[in-house]
Amino acid sequence: MSERERQPTRGEWRVPVGGEETSAVFEPATAGAEQGVVFVFAHGAGGNMNDRGVLQTANALRARGFGVVRFNFLYKEKKSGRPDPMPRLKDCLSAVVAHARQELKPGKLIIGGRSMGGRAASMLAADGFECDGLLLLAYPLHPPGKPDQLRDAHLPAIKVPVICFNGTRDPFCTPSLMEEVLKRVTTDWEMHWVEGADHSFHVPKSVFLHQGRRSQTFDSRR
Q: Tell me the per-residue pLDDT of 160-173, one tens digit each, with 9 for 90 and over.
A: 999 999 999 999 99
What pLDDT, on the 0 to 100 scale, is given for residue 79? 96
Q: Taking Cα atoms as reference points, which of 85, 91, 60, 86 lies closest to residue 71?
A: 91
Q: Based on the structure, what is the number of domains in the chain?
A: 1
What pLDDT, on the 0 to 100 scale, is given for residue 165? 98
- Cα atoms in the 13 Å half-sphere on the side-chain side of 155: 24
Domain of 164, CATH number, reads: 3.40.50.1820
Cα Dmax for the chain: 64
> The domain containing residue 72 runs over which residues?
3-221
Q: Tell me the per-residue pLDDT of 67-79, one tens digit each, with 9 for 90 and over.
A: 999 999 999 999 9
